[in-house]
Chains A and B, each alone.
Chain A
Amino acid sequence: MPGAGGRMAAGGFITDDGRRALRSLLPPFVYAVFLMAIPLATVVVVSFQIRGAGAGEWLDGALPGPVATALRVMVLLYAVTLPLAFGLIARRGGAGRIFRFLLVAAPLWVAALWLSWSYLATLGFGFGNYVSVFTDPINIRGAVRGGSWIPGLLPRSLFVSVSVTAATVILAYPIAYFISFRVAPENKSLWIFLITIPFWTSYLIRIFLWKVILGYSGVVNTALTGLGIIDEPLTFILYNVNAVIITLAHAYAPFAILPIYVALEKIDRSLKEASRDLGEDRLTTFLRVTLPLSVPGIVAAVLIVFIPTIGDYVTPELVGGSGGLLIANRIQSLFLQVNDPGLGSALSIVTMAAVGIVSLLFIFALRRWLRRA
Chain B
Amino acid sequence: MKFPALRIYAIIYLVFLFAPILLLPVFAFNEGKIIAFPLTGFSTRWFEALWTRPALHSAVQSSLLIAVLTSIFATVFGIFAARGGALADYPFKGSMIGFIMLPLVLPEIILAVALLVLVTKVLGLAPNLYTIVLAHTLMCTPYATSILNGAFANLDQSFEEAAMDLGESRWSAFRLVTLPLVMPGIVSAMLIAFIISLDEFIVAFFLSGNVTTLPVYIYGLRRQSDQLPIIMALGTILVALSIVLLIAAEYLRRRGLRRAGLEDSGGFL
A interface residues (Cβ-Cβ under 8 A, vs B): 2, 5-6, 13-15, 17-29, 31-33, 35-40, 42-43, 46, 58-59, 61, 63, 68, 71-72, 74-75, 171, 174-175, 177-179, 182, 188-189, 192-198, 200-206, 208-210, 212-213, 215, 217-219, 222-223, 226, 250, 253-255, 258, 261-262, 265, 303-304, 307-314, 318, 328, 331-332, 335-336, 341, 344-345, 348, 351-352, 355
Chain-A contact segment, one of B19-27, B49-57, B179-187: B19-27
A222-B38 Cα distance, complex, nearest whole Å: 8
Chain-A contact segment, one of B40-48, B64-72, B130-138: B130-138
B interface residues (Cβ-Cβ under 8 A, vs A): 2-3, 6-7, 9-10, 13-14, 16-21, 23-24, 27, 34-38, 77-78, 80-81, 83-85, 87-91, 93, 96-97, 99-100, 102-111, 113-118, 120-126, 134-135, 137-138, 141, 145, 160-161, 164-165, 192, 195-196, 199-202, 206, 215, 218-219, 222, 228, 231-232, 234-235, 238-239, 242-243, 246, 250, 254, 264-269
A178 near B6: Cβ-Cβ < 8 Å: yes
B104 near A209: Cβ-Cβ < 8 Å: no
B107 near A219: Cβ-Cβ < 8 Å: no
Contacts of B206 in A (CB 8 A): 332, 335-336
B7 near A178: Cβ-Cβ < 8 Å: yes
A173-B178 Cα distance, complex, nearest whole Å: 38
Nearest-neighbor residue (CB-CB) of B138 within chain A: A35
Given the known interface contacts A24-B87, A204-B218, A217-B36, the answer about A29 and B100 at a Cβ–Cβ threshold of 8 Å is yes
A202 near B114: Cβ-Cβ < 8 Å: no
B115 near A72: Cβ-Cβ < 8 Å: no
Given the known interface contacts A61-B126, A336-B206, A344-B113, the answer about A182 and B118 at a Cβ–Cβ threshold of 8 Å is no
A75-B242 Cα distance, complex, nearest whole Å: 37
A209-B18 Cα distance, complex, nearest whole Å: 11
* 4 A-B pairs closest in CB distance: A311-B107, A18-B90, A24-B84, A17-B88
B266 near A209: Cβ-Cβ < 8 Å: no
A22 near B93: Cβ-Cβ < 8 Å: yes
A201 near B269: Cβ-Cβ < 8 Å: no
**11 intermolecular pairs with C-beta atoms under 8 Å apart:** A21-B87, A25-B84, A32-B103, A39-B118, A203-B215, A208-B222, A209-B24, A213-B23, A219-B36, A255-B269, A331-B113
B219 near A192: Cβ-Cβ < 8 Å: no
Nearest-neighbor residue (CB-CB) of B198 within chain A: A202
A32 near B91: Cβ-Cβ < 8 Å: no
Contacts of B235 in A (CB 8 A): 202, 205, 208-209
Contacts of A18 in B (CB 8 A): 87-90, 93
A37-B117 Cα distance, complex, nearest whole Å: 12
Chain A min CB distance to B139 (Å)? 9
A175 near B10: Cβ-Cβ < 8 Å: yes
Chain A min CB distance to B145 (Å)? 7
Q: Indicate which residue in B89, B106, B161, B254 contacts A36 across the interface (CB closer than 8 Å).
A: B106
B88 near A20: Cβ-Cβ < 8 Å: yes
Chain A min CB distance to B196 (Å)? 8
A2-B235 Cα distance, complex, nearest whole Å: 52
A335 near B105: Cβ-Cβ < 8 Å: no
A318-B77 Cα distance, complex, nearest whole Å: 35
B99 near A32: Cβ-Cβ < 8 Å: yes
From B3, B34, B104, B267, name the one whose CB has the most chain A CB atoms within 10 angstroms: B267
Contacts of A196 in B (CB 8 A): 246, 267-269
Contacts of B113 in A (CB 8 A): 43, 331, 335, 344-345, 348
Nearest-neighbor residue (CB-CB) of B240 within chain A: A201
Given the known interface contacts A31-B77, A42-B118, A200-B195, the answer about A182 and B6 at a Cβ–Cβ threshold of 8 Å is yes
A146-B85 Cα distance, complex, nearest whole Å: 58
8 new A-B contacts, CB < 8 A, other than A35-B115, A43-B113, A203-B199, are A14-B91, A19-B90, A24-B84, A31-B77, A37-B99, A200-B195, A308-B106, A335-B113
B222 near A318: Cβ-Cβ < 8 Å: yes
Chain A min CB distance to B267 (Å)? 4
From B27, B120, B122, name the one whose CB has the most chain A CB atoms within 10 angstroms: B122
